[in-house]
Amino acid sequence: MAAIAVAQAASLTSRRVQGPKPSAGAARRVRPVRSAVVDVKSMATEKPWKTHDCRLVLEDGSVWSGLSFGAKGTAVGEVVFNTSLSGYQEILTDPSYAGQFVLFTCPEIGNVGINLEDMESTKAHMGGMLVRHLSLNVSNYRSAMSLPEYLEQQNVIGISEIDTRAITLRLRDTGCLNGVITTDATKTDDELIAMAKGWTIVGKDMISEVTCTEPYEWQDPTGTEWEFAAGAKASTKGSLHVVAYDFGVKHNIMRRLASYGCRITVVPASMPAAEVMAMEPDGILFSNGPGDPSAVPYAVENAKAILGEVPVFGICMGHQVLGQAFGGETFKLKFGHHGGNHPVRGPSGRVEISSQNHNFAVKPNSLPEEVEVSHINLNDGTCAGMVYREKRAMTIQYHPEASPGPHDSDPCFEDFVHMMKAAKREKAA
């Protein structure tokens, strides 16, 4: 019986598949088999991968096509290259990069995503991000989002799959170039070249775009798990009051000062010197910041009024502002210093590997003889630090907090603390 049932089921299936038999004598009609309609033209143009949808156009007329990530639109800025191998998040959120596109010589960017702890300010400041390869995967236990997600959130355009090595060599040969990044296919190359040629960072006050609008207090030191300096671990917290002029100050500069025992009041870049001195500071920090130092005469005048009253420390833009307050002049470098591997020789002959980010420098031969050039950049011999002993003033052209970068220059913060303590002892005597 089982065999009969199987045979009947097979017969029924066979009839369903084959359909009814033609009637006797009827001519067998053979219907042609029609294949699905295929649009050969669309198959030839559509690709299973993303095609170039973004352009970087430089003022020298060169055009570089690539893949967009982050925001869409059009942006103009000065193109600089950065040689750091890590810390793209800190670079991205460094206010000193306002008005600039940063080209990373490190070939892969984005592999550790974006976390919420390593921000150097409250937002991204660079105008555009230029990379060879955007990592397809994010692998970091602290990551909160991917790099493209963060750039889209911050309205920053990124471009990948461009020849970053060739562009770096071009910038080294010709100097910094203005450029335009766009995802707008309707704009012609000639329009974009004209846009790049019509823009400049020289003479622009970029500090006013990044400074705070009201004073605020900063007390957070470097986290215990990240602290590395014995002097910071042994410091008495809150023992010194530092007023920081915010030219675009990085969070880790303030963390390092707080780690060495300072209580910090951050003030807008344009706050008059008299109001700052009324806060009774033990010392004043002139912070890092973006743009042309000769375009901020109000900052220079404030520095002149403060010199000699209390110890002062200038970092990066602050170094350039104080250089002018000393009586010196600044000039624009060919392609600037941007990276975490710049050798600097200090007054004792010790060589530090430093983190740097600046396009301007102080002319040593323009300084009065009372001012000592204390640090020299060993790559090009430019002034990397100054000391004006009579005025209790010290400056460095690079980033001692080194985020990202090595910790060789961290003792600068301790030197500033010792200067403030010495001034307090003299005042009390």
Q: Which residues pair with 314 in a beta bridge?
A: 286, 395
Backbone angles phi and psi of 290, in degrees to 5: -95, 165
Q: Could you confirm whether 316 is annotated as catalytic?
A: yes
Q: Could you confirm whether 412 is annotated as catalytic?
A: no
On whether the CB atoms of residues 171 and 336 are closer than 8 A, the answer is no
Of the candidates 54, 401, 412, 414, the residue annotated as catalytic is: 401
Of the candidates 125, 262, 399, 414, the residue annotated as catalytic is: 399
Of the candidates 54, 176, 262, 316, the residue annotated as catalytic is: 316
Q: Could you confirm whether 399 is annotated as catalytic?
A: yes
On whether the CB atoms of residues 346 and 352 are closer than 8 A, the answer is yes
Q: Which residues are identified as catalytic?
A: 316, 399, 401
